[in-house]
Chain A
Amino acid sequence: MEARKISDDIIAAISTPIGTGGIGIVRMSGTGSLSILKKIFKCHCNDFQSHHIYYGSIVDETENIIDEVLVNIMFAPKSYTREDVIEINCHGGLLCVKQILQLVLNSGARLAEPGEFTKRAYLNGRLDLLQAEAVIDVINSKTDLSKQVAVNQLSGSLSNKINECLQIILDIIARIEAAIDYPDEYEIFDASQEILNVSEKIKKLLDSADVGKIIHNGINIAIVGKPNVGKSSLLNNLAQKDSAIVTDIPGTTRDIICEYINIDGISAKILDTAGIHLTENVVENLGIEKAKICAQNADIILLLFDWSREFDNDDKNLLSLYNSDKTLFVANKIDLTQKFFAPDNFQLTKISAKKNFGLDDLRKNIKKIVFGKNIFDKSNEIFVCNVRHKTALKNSYDSLMRAIKTISDGLPIDLTVIDLRDAYDFLGEIIGQSVSDKITDEIFSKFCVGK
């Protein structure tokens, strides 16, 4: 049958981060994975059993040994994807893993699309939608903190929060429905306050979505300052310490350099801009304009000043970029003699990029901005990271607001139920629940109705 083709092919991918770690894993999923393995795997055993580990070597077409490996075999349906899954554990490093993947692909597998293992697990009923999304978030998360949030979500803390809100909404609906279906027995009541209470809970989750986005996608930090203030040394210092991979983003101008760093779990993209100062030079002015735009688009601006030079017009000029929500004043080169005297209201973070001094304070202050005034320890809290979830929460919240308006407008209670059902179903979308399945049970378990 045609439909078999949906998952009849074998997919393969490297399932460990490339270039890090001592062990690399190449994973295959699909019917026939074993026959591919047999083509490239030499070992003393021929009768492979599910959930066993086999030791042997991977060999190429000319019987050259590529690597010594351990192979895990998991036959359907007791595997992650509920298909036959084989994992080849080889030595880490780029070369070995890539060669083995190439061999697997040459032998009949195709390269998996990003998230395709999880997609199969979902399609085969192994994971619910929320779990599947969380797994994809785990895979995609760039830093430790976002991994922590993703893991929390997977184990159900977001589900719990949502279930809690769903239960409250269901309870309100059930009470109204009982009054509608059994008018002799129950009376209508004003549900505004209760609706308001649950809407606040949802609002809180919704607010976490912005923080969630930062954890998930990282933040942009722009370093801005006049020439020779030490922007590049700061950048290098931050980057070195966190051993980030330095990349030139293609297509950007040469004068904006960007690096990825990790500040206690927040992934940040640092943009080193051209020195901003007054100049007649047309080319230079272009670069400065770009730097300004870059600063405006950034989540955080580090305004960098030189401790060893006086506060001058160029510095003053920078203040136009100031935005109280996202700006940090940083004085660099504090190992030198102070000549810089800032205006009174400056909250200066003092560092020496060269001597590696004060950088921990700088990180702390960056986190303060990211997470508001609180000192950052949020890995146990729930953040909404996913756009689909955010939309669903927003829709649910809006429906609750409409319900409250319907009541205050003096419209009939039945119309309120339409809004409340919407609110429930939008929220339920996140974990795949709909109100119609539940409402009858709720009414009859809670209310003594019927004659």
Chain B
Amino acid sequence: MNYNAGFFDVIIIGGGHAGCEAALACARIGLKTVLFAINLDSIAMMPCNPNIGGTSKGHLVREIDALGGEMAKNIDKTFIQSRMLNTGKGPAVYSLRAQADKFEYAKQMKKTLENTNNLYIKQGEVTQILVEKNKVCGVILESGAIYNSKAVVICTGTYLKSRCLFGQTIIQSGPNGFKSSNKLGDSLKKLGIKMFRFKTGTPARIDKRSIDFSKMQIQYGDKKIVPFSFETSFLEREQIPCYLTYTNAQTCEIIKQNLSKSPMYSGIIEGTGTRYCPSIEDKVVRFSDKLRHQVFIEPEGENTNEMYAAGLSTSLPEDVQIKMYRTVTGLERCEFMRTGYAIEYDCIDATQLKLSLEFKNIAGLFSAGQFNGSSGYEEAAAQGIIAGINAAMYVQKKSPLIIDRSEGYIGVLIDDMVTKGSNEPYRMLTSRAEYRLLLRQDNADLRLTPKGFEVGLIKSERYEKFLDKQEKIRREIERVSKVFVKADEKTNKILCEHNSHEISNGLYLSELIKRPQMNYEILEAIDNARPNLDEQVREQVNIQIKYEGYINRQINQVEKFKRLENKKLPLDLDYKNVKGLSIEAVEHLNKIKPENVGQALRIAGVSHADISVLLIFLKHQS
């Protein structure tokens, strides 16, 4: 029987990476928040790879931190190896990646949630969303408990009607054997929400004791560890290595022979998979000319023998999986601890959402994470914090926080998802960001911390520190641009040592920093009046001076971009009434209801001609 269980400002459904950030954001802003998870042991679980960060995902984690989120701090507490990738490829694409102790990660995150004021954690399955007059007003749990609220954030990940598959084996469950959620989806469909079916997968976990590491290439972490959080000042930890090995012709052969037994190829799986995390079967089929594929063997934690086999995601029958894994160098005698599987689940067409992640047709209902059709912990967390913040803004009757494509990877991620939609799980990539020289991982705080402060997630103590850092950067850049370097022996000696040509006339220090072979640090020796500054400041000074020309070019591009972005379109506009639009454009514009002209241009099927028509229309309106 139903009973009235109480009132909360915001209800979060799901305790994965999106749910955790959403819940923390709402509670920290000061709203009474409850988070429901089907099983509290699944909070902040990492059911797939044991890492946080990597290319573009590392950027997302830093942005989450800059806004006042938790993911960065939590991985700083629990990583067992850390590497900065792409250091040779330019400042915009430096990418931090850490191996997580995934059990410790979940434990620490749960501890943080449990000890956050205003936040209540409850085990229970939400089966129904309550909506009145297109406005959300609460949820019903399987137990019959009715919770009322002003806002609801759905972060159900891969749990909706999920089933795990390998070979002919089908297990009706969510990841890792946790119970799936089979009723909520129907409630959503009744609300008119359009659902998709997506698929993803994970490799087997192998017993460490059964692996011959001597045949593999060992990969250590960086000596100097860069933390994820701008607030973590110094980190030192014993790191655990990963290992690299390869598949071979034999591996391919076994896969090809058994392809028909894969549920993906036999037609059992209905969901759409992603090109971004292909199974080994997909890789062998799609790139048949490639003789070998990389396999990374990564520890799942400090106190476990489970090892993750990155690159060997599969849904072949268990016996074939074992046979196939044992062809890989160093895995000849490997013992499985968990079998690889594909997982199918319901998610939504994200074009039903506004840029704030609120449903267009249901006020107060927000959603984030894999439920929205993304893939990856970081993508989920990034949406989680935004959905959480905007649920809080909604409750407080303030305007939503929208990060645009020129302000953050989070902006690119959300704009891509709600504007273009996706017919496969969406993964963040650096190549998706047009202005990435401005969206570096090192300056995420400069871009987003003021926004975090504005919404109330960054507390004033941190904000003061941030302002101080910002001011120090500004002053130092100004100073360095005015320091005049004489063409003397000392200067030329340093230039010579670094293969940079000598100078015969004096010039400003900033000019020397710009030289490819030089940087801010090297030139310290001829910079007598240099103040004592901490590393984050020095890094900013160096990058901002060194790449000034390119940065300015991107700033100009952003100004152009903002012109269309700032032209707002009414959400209730019926595009049928705009004469001159192509039929295709009318259809797509009416489906997406873009919030501005820039967004309209990014919708598939809307041409530049249609945009001219819209611009003329707007002019006539005003």
Q: Is A436 an interface residue (CB 8 A)?
A: yes
Instruction: From B90, B429, B582, give the contact of A124 (CB < 8 A).
Output: B582
Given A418-B554, A444-B276: A180 touches B607 (CB 8 Å cut-off): no
Instruction: Check if B85 sits within 8 Å of A448, measured CB to CB.
Output: no
> A residues within 8 A CB of B92?
414
Q: CB within 8 Å of B: which of A388-447?
A: 409-415, 418, 421, 432, 436, 439-440, 443-444
Q: CB within 8 Å of A: which of B578-605?
A: 578-582, 584-585
Q: Separation in Å of the B93 CB from the closest CB of chain A?
A: 5
Q: Is B55 an interface residue (CB 8 A)?
A: yes
Q: Separation in Å of the A130 CB from the closest CB of chain B?
A: 11
Chain B residue with Cβ nearest A2: B620
Instruction: Check if A7 sits within 8 Å of B286, measured CB to CB.
Output: no
Query: Of B56, B579, B582, B616, which is in contact with the most chain A CB atoms at under 10 Å from its CB?
Result: B579
Instruction: Check if B430 sits within 8 Å of A181, measured CB to CB.
Output: yes
Selected interface stretch from A66-74, A183-191, A359-367: A183-191
> B residues within 8 A CB of A173?
431
Instruction: Check if A8 sits within 8 Å of B579, measured CB to CB.
Output: yes
Q: Is B275 an interface residue (CB 8 A)?
A: yes
Q: Is A60 an interface residue (CB 8 A)?
A: no
Chain B residue with Cβ nearest A441: B275
Chain A residue with Cβ nearest B48: A451
Instruction: Check if B290 sits within 8 Å of A3, measured CB to CB.
Output: no
Question: Dominant SS at the A interface?
Answer: helix
Given A4-B579, A448-B290: A180 touches B430 (CB 8 Å cut-off): yes
Instruction: Check if A450 sits within 8 Å of B294, measured CB to CB.
Output: no
Q: CB within 8 Å of A: which of B501-548?
A: 516-517, 547
Q: Is A177 an interface residue (CB 8 A)?
A: yes
Instruction: Check if B580 sits within 8 Å of A439, measured CB to CB.
Output: no
Q: Separation in Å of the A298 CB from the closest CB of chain B?
A: 39
Instruction: Check if B431 sits within 8 Å of A439, measured CB to CB.
Output: yes
Q: Is B496 an interface residue (CB 8 A)?
A: no
Instruction: Check if B275 sits within 8 Å of A444, measured CB to CB.
Output: yes
Instruction: Check if B613 sits within 8 Å of A6, measured CB to CB.
Output: yes
Instruction: From B277, B620, B621, give the contact of A5 (CB < 8 A).
Output: B620
Q: Is B89 an interface residue (CB 8 A)?
A: yes
Chain A residue with Cβ nearest B616: A6
Q: Is B16 an interface residue (CB 8 A)?
A: no
CA distance A440 to B276 in the complex (A): 10
Q: Is B370 an interface residue (CB 8 A)?
A: no
> A residues within 8 A CB of B302?
none
CA distance A4 to B553 in the complex (A): 39
CA distance A409 to B515 in the complex (A): 9
> A residues within 8 A CB of B617?
3, 6
Sampled A-B contacts (21; CB under 8 Å): A3-B580, A3-B617, A3-B620, A6-B616, A7-B580, A125-B585, A129-B609, A177-B430, A181-B429, A182-B55, A183-B89, A183-B95, A185-B294, A410-B516, A414-B89, A414-B91, A415-B550, A443-B429, A443-B431, A450-B277, A451-B294
What are the 9 A-B residue pairs with the smallest beta carbon separation, nearest first?
A: A414-B90, A412-B90, A125-B582, A448-B287, A2-B620, A177-B431, A410-B516, A3-B617, A444-B275
Which chain B residues have a beta carbon within 8 Å of chain A's beta carbons?
49, 55-56, 85-86, 88-93, 95, 274-278, 283, 286-287, 290, 293-294, 296, 310-311, 313, 429-432, 434, 436-437, 516-517, 547, 550, 553-554, 577-582, 584-585, 607-610, 612-613, 616-617, 620-621
